[in-house]
Structures are given as C-alpha cells and as structure tokens.
Amino acid sequence: FFKQKTAYEISTRDWSSDVCSSDLSAQNSILNGGIEDREHIYRRESAMDRKVVPYPPLREADVMWSKRIWRAIDLHEKINAPLRFPLADGSGASSSRDRKNLILTLIDAVKEGSVTAYSAIDDQFTMPLTATEFSKVISGDSVHIESRPDPDNPDYIVMIDSVEPFNSDRVTRYNMEEEWFFDKQRSVMDVRIIGICPVIEVKKEGLDEKLTKPLFWIYFPEGRSALVHSEVGNRYNSSQRLTFDDIFMKRMFNSFITKEENIYDRSIEVYRTTPVDRLLEAEKIKQEMVNFEIGLWDY
C-alpha cells in the first residue's frame, strides 16, 4: 500500500529541505540586518547588548576606612597585552577588523561625545577639554631641537620645531587613580577606579632616555559606557570575549603603586630616588593595606 522509501531518497529529501531552510534563514538575516556579515558565521551581538553593572550602593556612614592610591599600568608586561593590542596600521586605525586597543577606544568615545576628556595638568577632573584642545593633544608633539653654536659664530643658534605624529603604539603606560575603602555594611574591602590617563613616550634631543607625557584623564565611571561595548581578544576561546570593562572591574591587569594619599601630596619618586627603592616602597604600601584588612578579623 505504502511504498517504503530508500535511505538515498530520505537523505536527498532532508538535504534539500536543509538547503531551503538555510537559504531562507540567510535571506532573513540579510533582510533583518541590512548587510550580510561575512566576517563571522553568526551575528555577534553580545558585546553591543551588554550593560554596565552598577556599583553597590555606598553611603558615607558605611565607609569606615579609605585611602586614595595612584598606580601605573606598564603595557610592556605580558599580562597587560590586551590593553595595548591590536596595534594601529599606517592610517592610525586599528589593524584588526573587529577589535580596537584601549587608547583607540577612548579616543573614539571622546570624539563621538559619549566620554569627556579632562586636562592632564591635574587629576581633579575640573578642566574638560574642548574638541579643538583634544585634537591638539592627539595630533602630535612639538619637539624643539636646539643645535650647537657655530664655532665661527658663537652667537648663532638654530632652533628647529618639529612635530612628532601621534601613534597609538607610543602609549606605553596608563596612570590610574583609585580609592580603596572598607564597607562595613557589606564587610568587604573594595576598590573603585576613579580615572585613567594614557601616557606616551617622548624622545627629546640630547637625552638618552625617553620622557613620559600624560595625554588626558578619563573619569572611569563615565567611561564604562564605552568600555563595556569594546571587546578584548581571548586567546583561549574567541566566542567568549571579554570587554575592557571586565578587564578593569575584575582586576585582570598588573600595576605598581606610584603614589598614596599623604599630607605632603607627593609621589613615591620624590622621596625614593632609585627604581628599586620605589618598587620596595610600593610593595610596602600594598602590604600595609593587606595587613589592615587581615587585622579587621583578628579578635
């Protein structure tokens, strides 16, 4: 009565139906998205749909101890590589098609108006930069080169004003301001990042070592709205990428302390001249905070 179909006919029927369904899904994706995404096998929407996780509520009465700390994140360290890479190409844009490093993410956020850049003169976030001032900051550095006097004419000195173009590769460090505090309501030692500042290296004529120059400050709670949508490469699983907001909130970076809040308002390099002494002083400050937290639970 009913003819039994062969395995070949069944497989042919399933294959044709799968092709039709895949064609329909491809057409629907093109119609819904407007442009077909040929870089990935599926539409990547997780990063754009992420939202900033709000801070826990905090009152002044809950903070029984706090200390302001300034740190430096060295991008030469391997653990900090996600903040520096991918490097920019010849045009200054990101060399990757779907990722940008931290400095390009901050610059694009400032240009589009979602984040405010503040002057690097101080870290009080009181002097916002205008669009013109910000363009000058990232346009390049004016380097004054003074030549030696001519032996035949000692009064003759040539001054050359050259401009070194800005490149994201020159950002080798980030200064970070944060506040550590003990919340007695939740009984935890917590930290809040206040701001971050990219720092570039400047080569001056006549000096063997390179000098550092801070560019601008970003108020971190405001900048999280841009960092949460910028993906960071994951060397172990490309389908589960983190964002820059995850990197900072989960403390997935290495840094060293350059200053603690003190009555003299001076940094470590003022009273510790050698690099080894500065590192030892930074470790001492960190250990003091650890001992304070441990001491809270000794009875």
List, for residues 227-273, the tens digit of each pLDDT value.
999 988 877 888 788 899 999 999 999 999 999 999 999 999 999 99
Dihedral Cα 92, 98, 99, 105, nearest 10 deg: 60
pLDDT single digits (tens) 9-22: 544 455 444 544 54
Give the pair of three-digit tokens for residue 71.
């740190």
Query: What are 242's strand-pairing partners?
Result: 232
Rg (CA), the chain: 27
Kindly report the CA angle at 68 between 198 and 278, in degrees rounded to 5?
A: 70
Please give the DSSP secondary-structure letter assigned to residue 281.
Answer: H
In the block, residue with structure tokens 């929407």: 45
Per-residue tens of pLDDT for the chain, all 299 residues: 455 555 445 444 554 445 445 454 544 444 444 445 666 677 776 667 788 999 999 999 999 999 999 999 999 999 999 999 888 765 566 666 678 899 999 999 999 999 999 999 989 999 999 999 999 898 866 544 444 455 555 555 544 445 566 788 889 999 999 999 999 999 999 999 999 999 998 876 666 667 889 999 999 999 999 999 998 887 788 878 889 999 999 999 999 999 999 999 999 999 999 999 999 999 999 999 999 998 887 65
| CA 104-214-119 angle, 5° bins | 90
The number of angstroms, rounded, from the C-alpha of 17 to the middle of its chain's C-alpha atoms is: 48
Provide the whole-model pTM. Answer: 0.78
Closest listed residue to residue 56, CA positions, set 220, 249, 228 = 249
Around 294, how many Cα atoms within 13 Å sit in the side-chain half-sphere? 6
